[in-house]
Amino acid sequence: MSHASIKDVAALAGVSMSTVSNVLNNPGRVAPDARDRVQRAIEQLGYVRNAAARQLRLGSSKLIGLALINISNPFFTDVASGVEEAAREAGYSVLLGNSASRPDGETGFLELFEKQQVDGVLIVPSGDVFDKLDELRRRGTPSVLIDRVDDRNAFSSVSTDDVVGGSLAAKHLLSLRRRKLWFIGGMLDVKQMRDRLEGFRAIVANHPGVTLRVETDERVDVTSGREIGRRIASIPEQYRPDAVFAANDMLALGVIHGLTAIGLRVPQDVAVIGYDDIAFSEAAAIPLTSVRQPSRRMGSAAATLLIEELADPQNFRHRSVVYEPQLMVRASTAASKGI
Amino acid sequence: MSHASIKDVAALAGVSMSTVSNVLNNPGRVAPDARDRVQRAIEQLGYVRNAAARQLRLGSSKLIGLALINISNPFFTDVASGVEEAAREAGYSVLLGNSASRPDGETGFLELFEKQQVDGVLIVPSGDVFDKLDELRRRGTPSVLIDRVDDRNAFSSVSTDDVVGGSLAAKHLLSLRRRKLWFIGGMLDVKQMRDRLEGFRAIVANHPGVTLRVETDERVDVTSGREIGRRIASIPEQYRPDAVFAANDMLALGVIHGLTAIGLRVPQDVAVIGYDDIAFSEAAAIPLTSVRQPSRRMGSAAATLLIEELADPQNFRHRSVVYEPQLMVRASTAASKGI
DNA sequence: TTGAAAGCGCTAACAT
DNA sequence: ATGTTAGCGCTTTCAA
């Protein structure tokens, strides 16, 4: 009734366990007729390999752990798709965890991953997980960072240059003659946020007369964006920003909604630019200008890097792949001011 | 250098392996000082339980497999959040698979799940996986369906009444005096699609003079919605629909984009209603009217059902939980026709 | 309260 | 080409 084992298959096929194992792993080494009998026995019993036993024996699970901050942000699911694709091609499966769902966040997941004996970890770090990652590696589980470089270069990483991304956004807004800018983002203890702001600010600093105000909130989702949008809309015109750079698209989409709900026009009254360029941005009724990160490619590159390291841990040299972000100009900033 | 085992811990603490095991599983049964020594040894060695070995011994992995059609649809990630929450509370972890990423689709994932010895499976079935699920159950792995009922009532399920949902959409559109309706959806071999259409059509049938055209496409995402939107916009007014019911929100959002890009007004020229009510719908610049499914709740209910079954497989009676969909009226249909 | 030993299902080295 | 056997790390009787 329960799961059949290799032993059952062997008995039914009238061969030894190792022959069955060979049929599974080295079909070439086994005589055709024995192979056929084993195959039939497998079918008949509905035999399925027990990964736990295999893993225990082999010391490898052929599993990669992917730790995401927030699975409901399409940027991350795009990354995940890329990871899965590359992993599958190399014969790995992906154990997906989203830290938002755990009280203990990313650390909790890393522990689960380790217990499950994943061969390696892919992580989009938000908090400070480097100690934990170091520990993991000392015990033989390597990891690759996504969307974030490791300053000490102790881990491979795949990211987009967020400083450049921030400056792209600023240049674009300034070229549109916007002068009163807001940066809206998550907590600045997250490196990605800091970098985007840094790039943005550096450009603004070269433009005397242009003001920049920084607003941060713990939540970086559509709802919190909408609240900020409404707040902006209620500010008298002379104090109101004429452009907003939101540190991710969900936020930006929310801001537009909050703004327009109160009658402001985007981009005429307030231009809005986001970050990530998720699919919804292009399809929004006011298509969103956004700084694109090649999310899917980042995912597959990270997985590839990890798999390379797994294949030859000794000789592998850590690498940092940094992509250039790309400005996607759309309606949310396209028209000139005040028209 | 590699992973420390219970044996190493035992040696360092100067106790037997079983004492270490007891510290881990029945701390009460072990003398305080021995316990302390073991604890310290665990810390010092950075010992982490090997789930594979534990699983092999116990026959249970404390893992639930969740098979989703498409991880980039926020509806599914919301379901996943609900699942994770309920699972975590009960001490289970979730192995997440999205069938879109596999050439062999859901079946491929079910096989992975079985190999990984998940204790149970949660699945949003699209194709015909019942044979496979039957097989799984025969070998001791139960499953619960999400977003779909099993006609034979052989599996528990959690779903929303899609027929009612479809009729809600139709009634709303008709109350707005729309007469030329289009249904846009995925392939009709997917039960959910059929049901939504059925409910929609049943209402329309009672209204002589109202026409309904059905358009299906394999892809049900923003891009394909946009293409259809553009196509509609290019139709001369007298043949053009005055309302569209899209079978999910990603499609609907795309349709609106395609429509407005060519200068049509939503809802004045064409009213658009979606399905699922994902977060982006409310925040879209033309907020989308949608039939809401309680995605998160569906996820947690399904997980709860599965966990109950796992706890007492003998006496568990399959149950079908059916939620009522809810019409969320927003701007994409709100204004009357032609204004 | 603690320890010794068996065995979960699998693979691989070795023997035939 | 096939079989025998040891052992991966853990839990769990059973005995002390």
Q: Provide mean pLDDT across the span B258-286.
A: 91
Residue closest to C8 C1′ by Cα: B57
Are A222 and B283 a contacting pair at CB < 8 A?
A: yes
pLDDT for the residue A103: 66
Residue B18 CA to C4 C1' — how many Å? 9
pLDDT tens column, A211-228: 999 999 998 988 999 999
Q: CA of B226, closest CA in chain A: separation in Å?
A: 8
Cα B200 from Cα B296, distance rounded (Å): 25
Angle at A117 between CA A114 and CA A120, to 5 degrees: 80
Contact between the CB of A34 and strand D at under 7 Å: yes
pLDDT exceeds cutoff 80 at B268: yes
pLDDT for the residue B204: 97
DSSP of B225-289: HHHHHHHHHTS-TTTS-SEEEESSHHHHHHHHHHHHHTT--TTTT-EEEEEE--HHHHHSSSPPE
pLDDT tens column, B244-261: 999 999 999 999 989 988
DSSP state of A243: E
Residue B47 CA to C1 C1' — how many Å? 24
- Which of A49-63, B18-32, B135-149, B293-307 has the highest average model confidence (pLDDT)? B293-307
Band (B139; pLDDT cuts 50, 70, 90): confident
* pTM, 2 dp: 0.89
Measured between CA atoms, the residue of chain A closest to residue B222 is A283
Contact between the CB of A279 and strand D at under 7 Å: no
Instruction: Give percent of chain A above pLDDT 70.
Output: 97
> Contact at 8 Å (CB) between B61 and B31?
no
pLDDT for the residue A334: 84
Band (B103; pLDDT cuts 50, 70, 90): low
Measured between CA atoms, the residue of chain A closest to residue B2 is A139
Measured between CA atoms, the residue of chain B closest to residue A85 is B101
Strand D within 7 Å of which CB atoms in B 56-115? Answer: 56-58
- Give A48's contacts in chain B (Cβ within 8 Å): 111, 114-115, 139
Contact between the CB of B38 and strand D at under 7 Å: no
**Closest nucleotide to B21's CA, by C1' atom?**
D11
Report helix, strand or coil for A154. Answer: coil
Q: CA of B303, closest CA in chain A: separation in Å?
A: 15
Q: Round the average pLDDT of chain B to a whole number and report it.
A: 91
pLDDT exceeds cutoff 70 at A336: no
- Please list, in sequence order, all residues whose beta carbon lies within 8 angstroms of the beta carbon of residue A17, skipping any fewer than 6 positions away: A6, A7, A10
Residue A2 CA to D12 C1' — how many Å? 21
Band (A140; pLDDT cuts 50, 70, 90): confident
Contact between the CB of B5 and strand D at under 7 Å: yes
Are A117 and B51 a contacting pair at CB < 8 A?
A: yes
Report helix, strand or coil for B290. Answer: strand
Q: For residue B287, is the peptide bond before it cis, meaning its omega torsion is within 30 degrees of 0?
A: no
Q: Where are the beta strands (DSSP E) in A166-305?
A: 180-185, 211-216, 243-246, 271-276, 289-292
Note the strand D nucleotides within 7 A of protein beta carbons.
Answer: 1-5, 7-13
